[in-house]
Structure 1
Amino acid sequence: MRTVFANLSAELKQYLVITANYWAFTLTDGALRMLVVLYFHQLGYSALEVAFLFLFYEFFGVVTNLLGGWLGALLGLNRTMNIGLLMQVIALLMLAVPNDFLIIPWVMFAQALSGIAKDLNKMSAKSAIKLFVSDERPGTLYKWVAILTGSKNTLKGVGFFLGGALLTLIGFRNSLLLMAAMLFIVWCISLLLLKKDLGRIKRKVKFKELFSKSASVNILSVARLFLFASRDVWFVVALPVYLSDTFGWNGWTVGGLLALWIIFYGGIQSLAPYFTGKQAGRIPDGKSAVLWAAGLAAAPLLVVLSLHFESHLFIAGLFLFGGLFAINSSLHSYLIVSYAQREGVSLDIGFYYMANALGRLIGTLLSGWIFINLGLTACLLVSTLFIAIAGGISLFLPRHALRTRRD
């Protein structure tokens, strides 16, 4: 195994180190979310109180993605990734204190650290890929981005299962200590193997460069905001409550379905290049984003229709949406890496993922309000509207007739 690793190219070695970091972090991130939800529910916290525990986690995602790109260019992506890993270790240890200290402000602060850590890690991983692949190999770039993005979401779903299993087998505190120890080892290895000054700009980086000057990046960022708001406006709050109230499912059944959905979603993301024409040598562009958004816009309407039939049709509709959304998401992830400037790549990608986080936050807030006042059907109709807006904005993205070899 060591010999095989030694024979790999320097770029591929760095890609594997970054991917391993990202996988380890994602596994703990998914497990931590499930641990917090289940454990604090056992302690008697209401659903609203549990939701508030994640408020700072989502909010700081917006702030971190905006500032994280600037930090990546200033310090280097290796440092921002390692800072993210270490912050997650600290967040896990903060939650491993005795129950008397687990008051809401303390837990919210720990979740805020975890949210900052997650987005530093994600921004660093996505930005670094741009530096390892030549601009003349867009097919390879698309494949690497799709694998990294898809595997992350698959492992997040696995993390949901892991969190529930660890809570049952060894308890909340021991689970956190185990994950902190594992991630600390990963952090130590990353310090040794990750290339120094990765993505760092030699010149002084001005604070105003946080905001992208690229029209393509700005347009794609707004489209991304509406795309992710279209998912979370019904998925985050409305769907779990609907499944529990309408079908009478318990928390384990609802959590299991959502975990399977995320694993399926991540698997389709990894295969997205094959769905969008890689075998024929086609590379996605603005036109691709419009066409796939048009296909996705029909999915929430089909889910609305399925509400009037058996539950298995409704669930099939959820997975149809998940598959189409995964392709749209993976396609967007490729486009941002493609559009980003090689020098200061983290600035463009950080700005883009700030829009992504803002879309998640808006979708989450709307999900609860619309569902309480108007129901799941209204959430799904708003989802279709948001997807249509994302597709309309994508009309202004660059188009090309680029073809590449089947690499």
Structure 2
Amino acid sequence: MKALSALAPSVRQYLLVTGNYWAFTLTDGALRMLVVLHFHGLGYSPLQIAALFLFYELFGVITNLLGGYLGARLGLNRTMNIGLGMQVVALLMLTVPVPVAWLTIPWVMGAQALSGIAKDLNKMSAKSSIKLLVPDGQQGTLYQWIAILTGSKNALKGVGFFLGGALLALIGFRGALLAMAGVLSLIWLGSLILLKKDLGKAKAKPRFRDILSKSRAINILSAARMFLFGARDVWFVVALPVYLSSVFGWDFWKVGGFLAAWVIGYGIVQSLAPRITGKQRGHVPDGRAAFLWAVALAGLPAAIALGLNTGLSPQWVLLGGLMIFGALFAVNSSLHSYLIVSYAKEDGVSLDVGFYYMSNAMGRLIGTVLSGWVFQVFGLEACLWISSAFVIFAALISVRLPRHSNVL
């Protein structure tokens, strides 16, 4: 505690925000894996499993749009704590036995809707807070802090995937949910006490119509983000874990462990993105960097699809391609996460960040629906071709992002 109190106030708040984000992310990743593997084991089809996440993604779109407005009016500490509390309720909802079998899917979808609202309130609050804790002239520091927050979050989401698979095997679906709800409740109580009051509250009360961004740069970046995350989730959310389980014959431990390792590696690369993109040479990224890194990613999913139809080992093709995809996608995602916070105006920052993550959620929604439907009807290769097309769209949109010659 002495070491914590000796830190600068902005650093203490950064650590609290990051700790909240970490705790939430562990339960979010574990819950995703629990639901996919549990309901696949019950005999649900890929499309039915995708439907379970439909409200999760749909309400993420709505939450990011309205959550930025709420954060600017109420303060980011409140929206973050509301998100933590709602996740506890969502976890507990899934532990309640559903009395009638035909209510199972609507009930799970409802719990996922609540979890989606909670996740995006928490993420929007965390990302917006960083803008307020770093002086405006220190863009290199802002990039580094955003990369650390985003990368560590995704590494922990990978741990959450493994945790979900492990808990499902060890203590079952209901036991896993109860354990996570208990731990997250303690984190929530600590956050209520320690997080700075009125963090992120706008000086001038925003009007409801302000939820729509008026910034050309943010609108372009948001459109690119939608296609970028649609490209990931169209094969990663449902198609990949079901393919690993049904085609490769992997059990819960292998599926959860592999996806956990992938997301952990993905998060590590995100944290290192400033080094990869030239921060040590005195440069921060701009729209040109976003375009070039999207181009580097664009052909990879199509190459994996082609490789699956050759005489090469499908496991080496898919798993090796997935590793390269994860590294390139991590840099793209980290670049975008920095650019949105950099573009956002400081007063009422959550309005701009919320609008941007609304597009992010829309991409996830599109990707999730397509992941279940396309995989069930056409197979994994079709999901991969769509992924490449989406990245190409993201690259073409990124051409119009602002360019600069700023140095640190």
TM-score interval, smaller chain: over 0.9
Give the aligned residue type for 1:182. Answer: V
**How far did residue 373 of structure 1 move?**
4.1
* Secondary structure, counterpart of 1:170 in structure 2: helix
Tell me what 1:371 maps to: 375
Q: Give the secondary structure class of the aligned counterpart of 1:204.
A: coil
Matches within 5 A, 1:83-98: 83-98=82-97
Q: Distance in 2 between matches of 1:36 and 1:241?
A: 12
Residues 105-114 or 348-357, more deviating = 105-114
Structure 1 residue 41, shift from structure 2 partner = 4.3
Matches within 5 A, 1:110-189: 110-189=111-190
Query: What is the identity, as a one-letter code, of the residue corresponding to 2:63?
Result: T
Q: What amino acid is the match of 1:176? A: L
1:63-78 alignment, distance < 5 Å: 63-78=62-77
In the alignment, structure 1 residue 5 sits paired with structure 2 residue 4: yes
2:330 pairs with 1:330: no
CA distance in 1, matches of 2:215, 2:196: 28
Q: How far apart, CA to CA, are the structure 1 residues paired with 2:10 and 2:248?
A: 50
- What is the one-letter code of the residue matched to 1:95? L
Q: Quick one: distance in 1 between partners of 2:214 and 2:386?
A: 30
Distance 1:224 1:207 in 2: 24
Amino acid in structure 2 at the alignment position of 1:352: Y
Residue 402 (structure 2) pairs with residue 403 (structure 1): no
Deviations 1:212-233 (A, max 9, x none): 0011100100010111111122
CA contact (8 A) 2:54 2:109 kept: yes
In structure 1, C-alpha distance between the alignment counterparts of 2:302 and 2:115, rounded to whole Å? 35
Q: Quick one: structure 1 residues 397 and 320, their matched pair in 2 at CA, closer, same or farther if it must change by over 3 Å? A: same
- Structure 2, unmatched stretches of 5+, are none
What is the rounded CA distance, in whole Å, between the counterparts of 2:388 and 2:160 in structure 1?
A: 29
Measured in 2, the distance between the counterparts of 1:267 and 1:36 equals: 25
Bigger shift: residues 93-102 or 386-395: 93-102
The residue aligned with 1:24 is: 23
Shift of 1:180: 1.5
Q: 1:382 to 1:176 in 2, by over 3 A?
A: closer
Q: Are the counterparts in 2 of residues 146 and 271 from structure 1 also a CA contact under 8 Å?
A: yes
Deviation at 1:352, TM superposition (A): 0.3
Which whole-Å CA distance do the structure 2 matches of 1:315 and 1:115 have between them? 29
CA offsets, 1:24-76, max 9 Å, x none? 00111111222233334455555444332222111111111111101101110
Distance 2:392 2:252 in 1: 33
Partner secondary structure for residue 341 of structure 1: coil
**Secondary structure, counterpart of 1:117 in structure 2:** helix
Output the CA distance in 2 between the equivalents of 1:42 and 1:378.
24
Matched, 1:315 2:313: no
CA gap 1:46/1:82 in 2 versus in 1, 3 angstroms: same
**TM-score, normalised to structure 1's length?**
0.94
Q: How many angstroms apart in 1 are the aligned matches of 2:132 and 2:96?
A: 40
Alignment check: 8 A CA contact 1:306 1:317 kept: no
Secondary structure at the counterpart of residue 171 of structure 1: helix
* In 1: Cα distance, 2:96 partner to 2:115 partner: 16
Inter-partner Cα distance in structure 1 for 2:333 and 2:350: 19
Q: Which runs of 5+ in 1 are unaligned?
A: none
Q: Give the Cα–Cα distance (whole angstroms) in 2 for the partners of residues 42 and 400 of structure 1.
A: 51
Please give the per-residue CA displacement for 1:189-212, whole angstroms capped at 9, x wherever unaligned: 111111111111132221111100
- Give deviations 1:85-118, integer Å, cap 9, x for gaps: 0111111122222464783322221111111000
Q: Distance in 1 between matches of 2:97 and 2:397?
A: 50
* Superposed structure 1 runs of 4+ greater than 6 Å apart: none
Report the CA distance between 1:252 and its aligned residue.
3.8
Mapped partners of 2:293, 2:39: distance in 1 = 40
Task: Find the aligned partners of 1:226 and 1:200 in 2 and give their Cα distance.
Answer: 31
Q: Is the 8 A contact 2:46 2:373 kept in 1?
A: no
Query: Partner residue of 2:282?
Result: 281
Q: Any idea what SS the aligned residue of 2:400 has?
A: coil
3-state secondary structure, aligned to 2:299: helix
CA contact (8 A) 1:129 1:145 kept: yes
Matched, 1:341 2:340: no
How far, CA to CA, are the matches of 2:38 and 2:143 in structure 1? 39
* Count, aligned residues: 403
- Structure 1 residue 239, shift from structure 2 partner: 2.6
In structure 2, C-alpha distance between the alignment counterparts of 1:353 and 1:123, rounded to whole Å: 7
The match for 2:388 is 384
Residue 33 of structure 1: aligned partner:
32
Sequence identity of aligned pairs in percent? 66
- Counterpart of 1:379 in structure 2: which amino acid? C
Q: Equivalent residue of 2:346, what SS?
A: coil
**SS of aligned partner of 1:256:** helix
Does the 8 A contact of 2:83 with 2:122 survive in 1? Answer: yes
Question: In the aligned structure 2, how far is the partner of 1:200 from the partner of 1:252?
Answer: 44
Aligned partners of 1:166, 1:341: CA distance in 2, in Å?
42
Change (3 A) 1:156 1:375: same
Q: How many Å separate the matches in 2 of 1:194 and 1:239?
A: 38
Closer/same/farther in 2, CA of residues 62 and 204 from structure 1, 3 Å limit: same
TM-score, normalising length from structure 2? 0.94
Listed as ranges, the matches of 1:239-258 within 5 Å are 239-258=240-259
2:5, 2:256 → 1: CA distance?
41
Task: State the alpha-carbon separation in 2 of the partners of residues 314 and 168 from structure 1.
Answer: 25
C-alpha contact 2:165 2:256 (8 A) present in aligned 1 = no
Counterparts of 2:169 and 2:114 in 1: how far apart (Å)?
A: 25
Match of 1:356 in 2: 360
